Structure formats: structure tokens, C-alpha cells
Amino acid sequence: MNTVRVRFAPSPTGYLHIGGARTALFNWLFARQNQGKLVLRIEDTDTERLKEDSISQILSSMRWLGIEWDEGPETGGPCGPYYQSKRLDLYREEAERLIQEGKAYYCFCTPTELEEVRVSQHQAGEAFRYNGKCRDLLLSIAQKRIAEGEKAVIRLRIPASGQVKVKDLVHGEVKFSLDQFDDLVIMKSNGMPTYNFACVVDDHAMAISHVIRAEEHLSNTPKQVLLYEALGYEPIQFAHVAMILAPDRSKLSKRHGATSVEEFRDQGFLAPAIVNYLTLLGWSPGSDQEIFTPAESMDKFQLDKVSKKAAIYDTKKLTWINGQYLNSMNLDDVTRETIPFFLRKGLVTEEQAAEQYDTIRAVVSVVRDRVKTLVELTEAAEYYFKDVTEYEEKGQRKYFSSPGVAELLRKAHERLEQLEVFDVKHTEETYQILIEELGIKAGELIHPTRLALTGRTVSPGLFDVMALLGKDRCLARLKQAISFILQISI
């Protein structure tokens, strides 16, 4: 029985974007479904593009999403180290072995020389291809030049003709003709391995069973297959999942606004909602179900049902899903997620957040089912934490301008003032009685009151608002509104 071992192998050149997150997610689902392991490997062989804090960002984004790796940075494991920069000896050994076996050779051509070749090939209308200059250099001579300090890369010999077949779990068999491939560089002149080489060596060394990655790598795969053969490794299963594209159909990048997991978090999206959305992007259970727990996804996920078609992510649907989670998640969890947003907005201090947790929780409770993100929630909860300093203009026109409003509010004030128990039930009763007595429509009193208490035309149910604000603040805000109305009506 072969154990499933998959890996997610980001290169730390930036933050984890949603495309990477989805690749990680699919790997995770597949691993868990098959009681396998997910390995996290950091592909930090490009010393120039490496970004300092990006590893910790990637790790924390994955943790936040709840994608757990079984082996990798910070968790360790039997196949470590899990940073390619710490595995250089392995790559060198394997490259050396290929040289000894005559399957690879040193190449002393400089980047400038290669560039010249490329330019002339381009002018001649030919395909770009390494011209094979160092291909037949005698090994002893090459070694001597190395010993003298000359820089060289190591290239893999690739047959000039023939075909490579890539068996892919989502695409089926894909054929490539060899005549289009260069002798590819496997070790750079700075001693670092190239992506295709390090990837193959590590996937083998880490006993990976399935490589699940983005489709951008499909065209690299024949080269990797060739490397498997050259190195004498057992072949491996590949699955290339369609990419996630930005709304303008191009590859995800910074210029598209929010594409990183962190940015989505800052915009008030919840981790399980993002995971749910990403699960549905490029995969469908084949049923009507839209809302999934990870456990359900693990149960139903099928690699061969993964879409071959690149998907454009749609914030609107993510927002909708987020709303679903916001309303159905445990209230304490939502409250905990919301508090940082309150802090950032300056609605509460850390001490207040701790002391008044129950109140905050109550506020979140009445506000959450009418908003879709935590940012919206914070916005909608402002009335509770901040005094009303202005009234929405539209509301003023609609509700504060009719004659007799001030008097109406004054009466409401009078009645509310007499209440002993100021809760939802009693405030509502009071209003009902008053409305009946005056023979008016409920809205005639409720709308101006809402505007007076919140400064807005939109809020949670009015009596929820009242109960939460408490008697003193309600009365004060009513008074304030009355004088405001009298003032503007002059």
C-alpha cells in the first residue's frame, strides 16, 4: 500500500496569494482524504528574488487558513531540512553523479554569449536553443578549468529527438517532442540548483507520491520526467490544476489589488470562508452544495474532477460566502475575529475589549446578520461605540424634515424616560402603545428614532439598538436630535 505524500513548495519571493493558497489547499485536502502527509518545502534557490519576511508571511497565512502541514519548517520531519537552500549538498551530489555517468556536463558559456546566440537565432527565425558548444568538452579538461576557478553551470544532456509523455491526473497524457528542448541547466554557476532539478531531487528524496501544482508547471514537467529517468528515480504522479486568474484574465499579481491571503484578511474575510470559496474555485462536488466544511471537502474531493479551465476569482461570491459564515459561525469566534477590527478603527481599546467582552459580543450579535465582512461589521457597529455627531443627509431630508417630528421624538423621550426596565421587550411595547395612541404608522416614529440614535438610516432592529445603547444614551441622543431638528427647521 503506497502512502500518499504530497507537497506544497512555495518560493519565498512574495506573500501567499490566493492561487498558491488554493494549490496548498488542494494538496491538503488530498493528503487528508488519503490519510497521507502534506510536506511544506521552501524553494529558496533564487537568491536574488528572495524576500526576507516572505517565509514567515507564507507560514502564517497558511496557519491562519487552517492548512496544516505535517512536515516542513517549524514542524520538522524525517526528510528535512525543508529549505532547499539547506540541501545544497544533496543537489551537488546528484549533479556530480550525473556528470560521472555522462548524463550531464559542465558548460562554460557566459550569459552574454548565450544571449548573443539567442539574438542571432531569433534573427534567423529559429527557435531559441542552446547551441551545444560545451556539450562535447572533455570531462578532464572541464574539471581542470573548474579547478582553476572558472565558473560553470551543469547541463543535462537531452536527446535530440524522441518524445516524452507526461501522465497527468487532470489532463490525461500530454506528449512533448524532445527536439524543442535545450540541454537544461540543472546547477547554476553560483552553485545553486535550478528549479526543475531541485524539485525532482527533493520530490524523490522526500518520497512524494503526487505532485499537485499549478498548470504553469505543466510545460516544465517533461524536463522533470527526463530528470527522473536520468537520475534513475521511480516516476511519480502529476496533477496540474488550472490557474486562478485576476478579473482581467491575467496572471495574479500585485497590480490587481488584493490577491494575497493577508489582504483578504484585512478586508474582513474569514479564513473558513476563503477556504470554502477556494475549494469551489476549480472544483465542484457535482451537487448543489456551496457551503462546505473542510471535513466535507476532504470527503468529497476528487482530483480528477478538478477543472482544466483557468478560473477568474470573483470577490462578490467570496463576499456572499463570507456572509454565510459570519452568520452561522459561533458568536464567540466571530467576536474574537472582529475585535482586532474594532481596535484598528479605534472603537475600543485593548482594555475595553477585554473588560466589555460581553457587551461587544452582544453588539456583534445584532449587527452581524446584516453585513458580509468584518469591515462592514465594524462600520455597522460604530453607532454603539461613538457618539452621533452627524446625521445622514438623506435621512435628514426624509425623516427630520416633516413637521412635528421634534414633537414626536419628544413624546417618545418622555415615555422612554419612564421605563424601569429598558430592554427590547419594554421599549418595543412602549413604542407600540405610543404609535397606537397617536394613530400613526410605525415607520413615522421608528425611522426618525433610528436616525436620532444611530445617525443613520440603516441599523439593526431599532429595539435591539435601544436595548444595547441603554436608557441614558438613548435619551441623550433623542434630546440631541430634537434640538438639532429645531435648529434646522428655523
Partner RNA sequence: GGCCCUAUGGUCAAGUGGUUAAGACGCUGCCCUCUCAAGGCGGAGUCAGGGGUUCAAUUCCCCUUAGGGCUACCA
Q: Is 450 a binder of RNA (CB under 7 A)?
A: yes
CA pseudo-torsion sign 200, 205, 209, 213 = negative
User: CB of residue 398 vs RNA: minimum separation in angstroms?
Assistant: 10
Spell out, one character per residue from 250 to 269, where the chain touches RNA: x when CB under 7 A holds, - when not. xx------------------
Q: Report 108-147 residues binding RNA (CB under 7 A).
A: 109-111, 114, 118, 125, 127-128, 130
Contact at 8 Å (CB) between 98 and 156? yes
Q: Report 164-193 residues binding RNA (CB under 7 A).
A: 171-172, 174-177, 180, 182, 185, 188-190, 192
Q: What secondary structure letter does DSSP report for 399?
A: I
Run of H or E including 156:
strand 153-156
Region binding RNA by CB under 7 A among candidate stretches 26-34, 264-272, 307-315, 348-356: 307-315
Figure out which of the listed residues 14, 81, 340, 461 binds RNA, where binding follows CB under 7 A: 461
- Measured from the CB atom, the residue of 48 and 136 that comes closer to RNA is 48
- Measured from the CB atom, the residue of 8 and 341 that comes closer to RNA is 8
Active site residues: 254
User: CB of residue 99 vs RNA: minimum separation in angstroms?
Assistant: 16
- Measured from the CB atom, the residue of 106 and 342 that comes closer to RNA is 106
Give backbone dihedrals phi and psi of 76, rounded to 5 degrees, phi first.
75, -160
User: CB of residue 240 vs RNA: minimum separation in angstroms?
Assistant: 7
Q: Which of 459, 330, 438, 488 is nearest to 382 (CA)?
A: 459
Contact at 8 Å (CB) between 241 and 282? yes
Q: Report 47-86 residues binding RNA (CB under 7 A).
A: 49
- Measured from the CB atom, the residue of 3 and 51 that comes closer to RNA is 51
Per DSSP, the residues of 193-205 read BPHHHHHHHHHHH
Rounded CA-CA distance 125/128 in Å is: 9
Residue located via cell numbers 524522441: 162
378: left (phi over 0), alpha (psi -120 to 50) or beta: alpha
Region binding RNA by CB under 7 A among candidate stretches 132-140, 255-263, 455-463, 478-486: 455-463
Q: Is 443 a binder of RNA (CB under 7 A)?
A: yes
Q: Is 429 a binder of RNA (CB under 7 A)?
A: no
**Residue 44 carries which side chain, given as an amino acid letter?**
D
User: CB of residue 349 vs RNA: minimum separation in angstroms?
Assistant: 28
Cα dihedral 225, 226, 229, 233, rounded to 10, equals: -40
Contact at 8 Å (CB) between 202 and 91? no
Q: Report 399-428 residues binding RNA (CB under 7 A).
A: 428
Read off the C-alpha cell for 47. Answer: 537568491
| Helix, strand, or coil (residue 76) | strand
Q: Total number of residues binding RNA (CB under 7 A)?
A: 84
Figure out which of the listed residues 57, 194, 209, 338 binds RNA, where binding follows CB under 7 A: 194
Figure out which of the listed residues 15, 37, 43, 99 binds RNA, where binding follows CB under 7 A: 43
User: CB of residue 178 vs RNA: minimum separation in angstroms?
Assistant: 10
Spell out, one character per residue from 358 to 397, where the chain touches RNA: x when CB under 7 A holds, - when not. -----------xx---------------------------
Peptide bond preceding 73: is omega within 30 degrees of 0, i.e. cis? no
Rounded CA-CA distance 261/267 in Å is: 10
